[in-house]
């Protein structure tokens, strides 16, 4: 065999060749007999170590990861005190850049301990294939998850979530970097415990598993069907939405993912019969997040049989700056509301 080329040698070193890959075996055999290539391998290994050390030198602490719920909060709303309406400016709550995204979009998630398993529009034939589906706990993840697994023979991106918290250090090893020990000491080790703490902190994704038992005492139940109030602003939002409780797995995380995936899988159809939309879950002790395909989000409050707009975040033309500013000021009133209606059969 000719000498191993640089790229393959590096791939081999990095553990990028699948275990059964004949190329890998061939390289291994070659290395046994070729001192030249062994030297090159050592050099490559050293370069890798040096590279990691150099990059680690630049590392600022990544900071605590915001809780998943807070992530939604960041996108959806600022510290608007509950009940405090923002200024009654009737502003359009879709800016041109993201108006379309909004038009096609809605996802709901609800508070404390339970999740929207399914949110569908009830309007338009064929528009709501899941509208009538009972929201029952399901053992496995729906569509996208399966598809993903099928396509990923190497399984790198889909190691089963053995634990709800995995750390990059562990990943680094799993990835196939066979030789530990040369990891630069300077590299700041992620702190699993800290991250777990953060993740668990006020994060409904880690709330108790059972959808019923998991619902916080006194937390409002927003499951059911909702119809947008006439006169309410909200161009592009669906007139009717359906919100159902989520399935949860024992560790509380898979259910959340299922719920999200479920919504992703189902998609939503706008009133106009338009596109499938985005969906993610947001939580609060008494609020419901509505996230669009764009970064815009609404926070709704459950008031009896009414879901009333609390606040919203509007993204800047190119991203988040304005959203954040907007959010921080808590300036955005949301003149949108849905009223509870009986679900159609």
Partner 1 sequence: MSEPWATIYAETWDDLVRFLDRKVWDPERARDLAQETFVRALGADPPPERPRAWLFAVASNLARDEARSALRWRSRLRRVREEERERLETRTPDLALELRERRRAVREALATLSERDREVLLLWQAGLSYGEIAAASGLAEGAVGTTLSRARRRLVGAWTQREGGEETGAARG
Q: Using the rule CB under 8 A, is 14 a contact of partner 1?
A: yes
Q: Using the rule CB under 8 A, is 100 a contact of partner 1?
A: no
Give the nearest distance from C-beta 295 to partner 1 in angstroms: 5
Q: Taking CB under 8 A as the criterion, which residues in 209-248 touch partner 1?
A: none
Give the nearest distance from C-beta 340 to partner 1 in angstroms: 26
Find the part of the chain contacting partner 1 (CB under 8 A) among 87-95, 218-226, 234-242, 318-326: 318-326
Q: Using the rule CB under 8 A, is 140 a contact of partner 1?
A: yes
CA distance 79 to 81: 6
Pairing of strands 306-313, 337-341: antiparallel
Q: Which is nearer to partner 1, 102 or 226 (CB)?
A: 102
Q: Using the rule CB under 8 A, is 54 a contact of partner 1?
A: yes
DSSP tag of 135: -
Q: Using the rule CB under 8 A, is 271 a contact of partner 1?
A: no
48 to each of 16, 42, 175, 279, 334, how far by Cα in Å?
A: 14, 10, 15, 40, 52
Q: Using the rule CB under 8 A, is 90 a contact of partner 1?
A: no
Q: Is 109 helix (H, G, I), strand (E, B) or coil?
A: strand
Q: Taking CB under 8 A as the criterion, which residues in 68-87 touch partner 1?
A: 68, 71-72, 74-75
* Dihedral sign for Cα atoms in the order 201, 202, 204, 209: positive
Please give the sequence-ordered ranges of beta strands (E in DSSP) within the chain, or none if there are none: 108-109, 224-228, 240-243, 287-291, 297-303, 306-313, 337-341
Mark residues 177-206: x for contact with partner 1 by CB under 8 A, - for none.
-------------x----xx--x-----xx
Q: Using the rule CB under 8 A, is 267 a contact of partner 1?
A: yes
Q: Using the rule CB under 8 A, is 16 a contact of partner 1?
A: yes
328 to each of 30, 124, 172, 270, 322, how far by Cα in Å?
A: 61, 38, 37, 30, 10
Q: Using the rule CB under 8 A, is 274 a contact of partner 1?
A: no
Q: Using the rule CB under 8 A, is 257 a contact of partner 1?
A: yes
């Amino acid at each position: 065999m000719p000498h191993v080329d640089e790229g393959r040698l590096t791939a081999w070193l990095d553990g990028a060749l699948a275990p059964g890959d004949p190329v890998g075996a061939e390289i291994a055999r070659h290395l046994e007999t070729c001192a030249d290539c062994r030297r090159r391998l050592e050099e490559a290994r050293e370069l890798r170590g040096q590279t990691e050390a150099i990059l680690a030198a630049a590392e600022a602490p990544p900071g605590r990861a915001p809780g998943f719920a807070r992530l939604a909060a960041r996108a959806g709303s600022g510290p608007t005190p509950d009940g405090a309406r923002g200024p009654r400016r009737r502003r359009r709550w879709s800016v041109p850049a993201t108006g379309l995204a909004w038009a096609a979009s809605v996802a709901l998630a609800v508070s404390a301990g339970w999740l929207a398993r399914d949110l569908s529009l009830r309007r338009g034939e064929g528009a709501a294939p899941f509208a009538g589906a009972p929201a029952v706990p399901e053992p496995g993840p729906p569509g996208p998850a399966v598809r993903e697994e099928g396509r990923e023979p190497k399984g790198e991106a889909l190691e089963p979530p053995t634990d709800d918290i995995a750390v990059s250090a562990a990943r680094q090893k799993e990835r196939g970097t066979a030789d530990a020990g040369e990891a630069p000491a300077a590299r700041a080790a992620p702190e699993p415990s800290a991250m777990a703490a953060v993740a668990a902190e006020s994060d409904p994704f880690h709330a108790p598993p059972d959808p019923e038992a998991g619902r916080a005492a006194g937390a409002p139940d927003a499951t059911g069907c909702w119809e947008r109030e006439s006169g309410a602003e909200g161009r592009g939002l669906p007139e009717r939405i359906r919100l159902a409780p989520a399935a949860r797995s024992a560790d509380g995380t898979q259910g959340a993912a299922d719920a999200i995936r479920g919504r992703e899988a189902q998609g939503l159809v706008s009133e106009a019969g338009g596109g499938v939309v985005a969906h993610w879950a947001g939580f609060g002790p008494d609020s419901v997040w509505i996230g669009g395909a764009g970064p815009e989000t609404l926070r709704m409050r459950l008031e009896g049989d009414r879901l009333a707009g609390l606040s919203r975040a509007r993204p800047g033309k190119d991203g988040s700056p304005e959203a954040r500013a907007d959010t921080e000021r808590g300036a955005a009133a949301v003149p949108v509301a849905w009223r509870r209606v009986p679900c159609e059969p």
